[in-house]
Amino acid sequence: MSEMNNQVPILRIEDLKVYFPIKKGLMRRTVGHVKAVDGVDLQIAPGETLGLVGESGCGKTTIGRAIVRLNEPTNGRIIYNDDIDLLKLEGEDLRQIRKKFQIVFQDPYSSLNPRKTVKRLISEVLMVQMGMTQNQAYEEVKRLLNEVGLNAVYAERYPHEFSGGQRQRIAIAKAIALQPEFLVCDEAVSALDVSIQSQIINLLMDLKEQHGNMTYLFISHALNVVEHISDRVAVMYLGKIMELAKTEELFDYPAHPYTKALLSAIPIISGMKQKERIVLQGEVPSAANVPSGCRFHVRCPYATERCSQEEPALREISPGHFCACHLTE
């Protein structure tokens, strides 16, 4: 991809599919599949922030979890540094790579071990993975809490003794503790008020400068936050990438009808021109029963005969701008 200046991508995702079996009856027979991710190709450059957006249930979290090896993809490869297939790693190799790949979960409540104080939760990984002494680790925990805007006295508390937004920030502190090369942020700032949200976004951007090449996959439904933080943005619909471009290009010149509809839903602040709101007809089809042809055609205002038969490929329509739509050919 030209916009990556011919750098070796830190990640090259090829034809990734994650299907969940649907089981029925006493025999637990598989009667179908939820095609949560259904053939995704994506390259991420080192040091890049890639935004990932799309309607609820379209497969964003599932991609994030596949990258950090928290689910078993049905098909595909995830190549790290042009060399290692993450999906093939096992044992010690997997453990070594894992600390370079961290995720801030969408739901911090169920991702933080309820039986450990914050101090233990974070210091343990620092001691095991970074070889710190206990004292060094405790100091580091205090520093990390301050970074995410929390008082260091909180270190002795258990996860359930925090407010929702505080818990989300603890999950962030834990994820950045290991100074990962790659961080998946899954709705990582959605529970925070604007002031603290801003503080965390600044922190994420600072970390990038401090550690050189941190790479982010930034999943969010808050399009203004995505626009602010991302270098490029990928738009997903029902398990597939529909459009991918540099942030300015995507927000200023969206090409895919789905992207246009998605962006038109952003509330405009007074004083700016209100774009015409495109309201999509029909409901999101089921990922267990993906429509033929272009999976968006049943809701697309511009769909033609061809769209219902032939699935469009994700093609480069201008340098660095990719779109999967017959109409943009």
Partner 1 sequence: MEKYLEVKNLRTYFNTPEGVVKSVDGVSFHINRGETLALVGESGCGKTVTSLSLIRLLADTADLKYDYMMVDGQEIKDLTKEEARQIRGKKISMIFQEPMTSLNPVYKIEKQLGEVFKLHEPGLTKEQIHEKSVEIMKKVGIPNPDERLKVYPHQLSGGLRQRAMIAISLASNPQMVIADEPTTALDVTIQAQIIDLLKQLQRDSNMSILLITHDFGVVSQIASRVAVMYAGKIVEEGMLEDIFRDPWHPYTKLLIMSIPGIKVTRGGRLESIKGTVPNPLNFPKGCRFAPRCPWALDICKDVAPEEMVVGNRRVSCHLRTQGKAVE
Ligand X SMILES: Nc1ncnc2c1ncn2[C@@H]1O[C@H](COP(=O)(O)OP(=O)(O)OP(=O)(O)O)[C@@H](O)[C@H]1O
Count Cβ atoms within 10 A of the Cβ of residue 127 and give its class: 0-12 exposed, 13-18 middle, 19 or more buried: middle
Token duo for residue 314:
């994700």
Nearer to partner 1, 14 or 107 (CB): 107
- Residue 61 sits in the site that holds Mg ion (CB under 5 A): yes
Residue type, 19: Y
Span near Mg ion by CB under 5 A; candidates 59-67, 167-175, 251-259, 304-312: 59-67
Interacting residues with ligand X (CB under 6 A): 20, 34, 36, 56-62, 106, 161-166, 287
Please tell me the distance from the alpha carbon of residue 241 to that of residue 136, in angstroms, as a whole number: 43
Give the SS3 label for residue 158. coil
Size of the site for partner 1 (CB under 8 A): 57
Q: Does the CA dihedral 127-132-138-141 come out positive or negative?
A: negative
Q: Which of 19, 11, 18, 17 is nearest to 78 (CA)?
A: 11
Residue 157 is classified by DSSP as: S
Report DSSP letters for 83-97, one per residue: TEEGGG--HHHHHHH
Span near Mg ion by CB under 5 A; candidates 147-155, 159-167, 200-208, 231-239: 159-167
The CB-of-329 to ligand X minimum distance in angstroms stands at: 27
The CB-of-190 to partner 1 minimum distance in angstroms stands at: 5
- Residue 247 sits in the site that holds partner 1 (CB under 8 A): yes
Q: Which of partner 1, Mg ion, ligand X, none does residue 308 bind (CB under 5 to 8 Å by kind)?
A: none
Q: Label the pairing between strands 101-104 and 182-186.
A: parallel
- Residue 160 sits in the site that holds partner 1 (CB under 8 A): yes
- Residue 215 sits in the site that holds Mg ion (CB under 5 A): no
Tell which positions 281-320 bind partner 1, by CB under 8 A: 283-286, 288
| Half-sphere exposure at residue 289, Cβ-oriented, CA atoms within 13 angstroms | 6
Nearer to ligand X, 290 or 327 (CB): 290
Nearer to partner 1, 284 or 317 (CB): 284
- The one among 2, 163, 195, 210 contacting Mg ion by CB under 5 A: 163
Span near partner 1 by CB under 8 A; candidates 6-14, 77-85, 263-271, 321-329: 263-271
- Residue 57 sits in the site that holds partner 1 (CB under 8 A): yes
Give the SS3 label for residue 125. helix
The neighbour count for residue 267, using CB atoms within 10 Å, is 8
- Residue 179 sits in the site that holds partner 1 (CB under 8 A): no
